[in-house]
């Protein structure tokens, strides 16, 4: 074992001990939470002065085994750090969520997705084993054979069954470049049909496809972004400067081509937070020239959004203009691919938000994951939309309508943002029976929040 790897494991062991000490410092009966300054969750929650768990020693890559194509990673390590450690070996995680600040532990317990998900599934499916700090204050190693019930229930539990301390994940070889083909469609049905063909065959125009996602700008303007890894060098685009990635996709008809380094492809959405940087003026040419490049990233925009929510700037401006306040509609939903056109048509007719992100996925394995029971061997499309709409007559009116439509189409909604389900609906959709059994086994005193309380009641 090399000295750096030994040092990393020693540092990790010390970080785990600090985590356990901070757990023991929480008064008996008091709720246990992480002490985190940042989050990729977008739901409101009650404030608390209770002490949090010290995760400061759990934000690094422990080791990369290039021969075995695995990595041991601390739970609070960001994908930005993880990719920086694996790419020099010509390797990457099987699924790299789009934003640099997402942590590996967060993507596994909260679900994550990206353009390789049509062939590699979701991030938790490439986890070989993980150490979890349970609500009982114990660190247990969970895998398909050790504590298998906790291993299967951990995805989509959002820290209510425990916190990932260390994860061992699979890696896959990656080429140094990604060649992109952007295909325009004038019909949503044609776009979804083409997407389904690629998912089923793994090919586009007879060529193997490594990555696939899409963008809907309107009912008659939508695109598939088809990626192919390549060793061939050549000119590459840079979307961290004046150019904006999602605008580069748009064209009048047919196809266009682009090329990015593997690194820049993985973070192509981060520089503008997909397209949400527009809300802060960062896409205006003059403002963009003045906006420091190091601040063109999701972390900066998330900080600005938290300030906006804290001081209510948006609704104050709306009131000055004589308009009603705004309801946040920040959601990702999974809809069966055969119902995707129906959902998109409904959404565009009822929700004034665009663009919309599309990302196809299929589970890698043959087993369902009980807290997010999408069906194995069935293709889905993740539909992402992140904006605001005028408030309705009731709290969360638009979000509630979306929830009903998704359920009617046999889909699921991710829980990183606001949710409005009844307890009965929630249990039916998110494996309530299984969840309670695992919760009782590993958090018998309910030191961690209940999933419904955290996701819906926003405690």
Residue 113 inside a domain? The answer is yes
Residue 402 inside a domain? The answer is no
Question: Judging by DSSP bridges, how do beta strands 412-413 and 356-361 pair with one another?
Answer: unpaired
- Highest averaged pLDDT of the listed ranges 313-317, 364-368, 384-388: 384-388
Mean pLDDT of 421-427: 96
Question: Pick the residue with more confidence: 92 or 457?
Answer: 92
CATH number at residue 32: 3.30.465.10
Least confident of 124-128, 313-317, 359-363: 313-317
Structure tokens at 425: 């609906």
Confidence at 1, pLDDT banded by 50, 70, 90: very low
Residue 126 inside a domain? The answer is yes
Answer positive or negative: Cα dihedral of 363, 367, 370, 373. positive
The reported pLDDT for the residue numbered 260 is: 98
Residue 121 inside a domain? The answer is yes
Residue 35 inside a domain? The answer is yes
3-state secondary structure 296-329: CCHHHHHHHHHHHHHHCHHHHHHHHCCCCCEEEE
The reported pLDDT for the residue numbered 37 is: 59
* H helix runs in 291-430, sequence order: 298-311, 313-320, 340-350, 397-408, 423-429
The reported pLDDT for the residue numbered 459 is: 72
Question: Judging by DSSP bridges, how do beta strands 211-218 and 207-208 pair with one another?
Answer: unpaired
Mean pLDDT of 326-343: 96
Structure tokens at 362: 């299929």
Mean pLDDT of 20-47: 75
Global pTM value: 0.93
Residue 79 inside a domain? The answer is yes
> Could you report the per-residue pLDDT of 213-271, keeping only the tens digit for each?
999 999 999 999 999 999 998 999 999 999 999 999 999 999 999 999 999 999 999 99
State the Cα–Cα distance between residues 382 and 45, nearest whole angstrom: 25
Mean pLDDT of 160-164: 96
Residue 112 inside a domain? The answer is yes
Q: Can you tell me whether residue 106 is helix, strand or coil?
A: helix
77 touches 56 (CB < 8 A) = no
Taking each helix axis as running N to C, give the angle between helix 340-350 and helix 397-408, from 0 to 180 degrees, rounded to the nearest 10.
160
Question: Judging by DSSP bridges, how do beta strands 91-93 and 177-185 pair with one another?
Answer: unpaired
pLDDT of 165 > 70? The answer is: yes
Taking each helix axis as running N to C, give the angle between helix 298-311 and helix 313-320, from 0 to 180 degrees, rounded to the nearest 10.
60
> Could you report the per-residue pLDDT of 109-155, keeping only the tens digit for each?
998 999 999 999 999 999 999 999 999 999 999 999 999 999 999 99
- Note the Cα 200 to chain centre separation in Å: 24
pLDDT of 211 > 90? The answer is: yes
Residue 414 inside a domain? The answer is no
Structure tokens at 168: 């061992």
Alpha-carbon distance values, 434 to 109, 135, 145, 441, 451 (Å): 16, 17, 18, 11, 12
Question: At 426, phi and psi to the nearest 5?
Answer: -60, -45
State the Cα–Cα distance between residues 167 and 153, nearest whole angstrom: 15
- How many domains is the chain built from? 1
Q: Which residues pair with 385 in a beta bridge?
A: 331
Mean pLDDT of 188-205: 98
The reported pLDDT for the residue numbered 2 is: 44
Mean pLDDT of 390-405: 95
State the Cα–Cα distance between residues 35 and 23, nearest whole angstrom: 11
The parent domain of residue 78 ranges over 3-174+442-455
Long-range pairs for 62-68 at CB < 8 Å and ≥24 separation?
Answer: 62/5, 62/8, 62/9, 62/12, 62/166, 63/5, 63/8, 63/9, 64/89, 64/91, 64/171, 66/90, 66/91
Roughly how many angstroms between the first and final C-alpha of the chain, as a whole number? 44
175 touches 229 (CB < 8 A) = yes
- Note the Cα 332 to chain centre separation in Å: 9
Residue whose token pair is 């325009």: 184
């Amino acid at each position: 074992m090399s000295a750096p790897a030994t040092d990393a494991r020693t540092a990790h062991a010390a970080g785990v001990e600090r985590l356990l000490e901070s757990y023991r410092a929480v008064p008996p009966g008091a709720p246990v939470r992480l002490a985190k300054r940042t989050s990729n969750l977008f739901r409101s929650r009650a404030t608390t002065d209770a002490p949090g768990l010290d995760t400061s020693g759990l934000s690094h890559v422990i080791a990369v085994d290039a021969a075995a194509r695995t990595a041991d990673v601390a739970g609070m390590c960001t994908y930005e750090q993880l990719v920086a450690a694996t790419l020099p070996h010509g390797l990457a995680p099987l699924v790299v969520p789009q934003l640099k600040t997402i942590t590996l532990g967060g993507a596994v317990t909260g679900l994550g997705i990206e353009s390789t998900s049509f062939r590699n599934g979701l991030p938790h499916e490439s986890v070989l084993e993980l150490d979890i700090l349970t609500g009982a204050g114990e660190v247990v190693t969970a895998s398909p054979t050790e504590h298998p019930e906790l291993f299967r229930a951990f995805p989509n539990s959002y820290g209510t069954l425990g916190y990932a301390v260390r994860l061992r994940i699979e890696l896959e070889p990656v080429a140094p470049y990604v060649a992109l083909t952007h295909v325009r469609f004038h019909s949503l049905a044609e776009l979804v049909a083409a997407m389904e063909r690629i998912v089923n065959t793994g090919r586009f125009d007879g060529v193997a496809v490594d990555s696939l996602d899409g963008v809907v700008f309107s009912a008659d303007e939508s695109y598939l972004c088809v990626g192919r890894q390549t060793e061939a060098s050549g000119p590459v685009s840079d979307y961290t400067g004046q150019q904006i990635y999602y605008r580069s996709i748009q064209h009048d008809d047919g196809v266009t081509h682009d090329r990015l380094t593997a690194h820049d492809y993985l973070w192509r959405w981060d520089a503008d937070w997909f397209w949400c940087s527009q809300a802060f003026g960062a896409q205006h040419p003059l403002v963009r020239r003045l906006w420091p490049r190091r601040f063109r990233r999701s972390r900066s925009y998330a900080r600005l959004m938290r300030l906006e929510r804290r001081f209510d700037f948006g609704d104050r401006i709306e009131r000055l203009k004589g308009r009603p306040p705004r309801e946040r509609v920040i959601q990702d939903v999974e809809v069966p691919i055969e119902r995707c056109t129906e959902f998109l048509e409904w959404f565009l007719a009822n929700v004034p938000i665009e663009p919309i992100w599309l990302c196809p996925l299929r589970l890698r394995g043959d087993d369902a994951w009980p807290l997010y029971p999408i069906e194995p061997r069935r293709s889905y499309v993740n539909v992402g939309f992140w904006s605001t709409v005028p408030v309705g007559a009731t709290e969360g009116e638009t979000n509630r309508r979306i929830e009903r439509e998704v359920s009617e189409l046999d889909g699921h909604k991710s829980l990183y943002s606001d949710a409005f389900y009844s307890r009965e609906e929630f249990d039916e959709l998110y494996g309530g029976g299984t969840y309670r059994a695992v919760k009782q086994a590993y958090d018998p005193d309910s030191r961690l929040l209940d999933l419904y309380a955290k996701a819906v009641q926003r405690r």
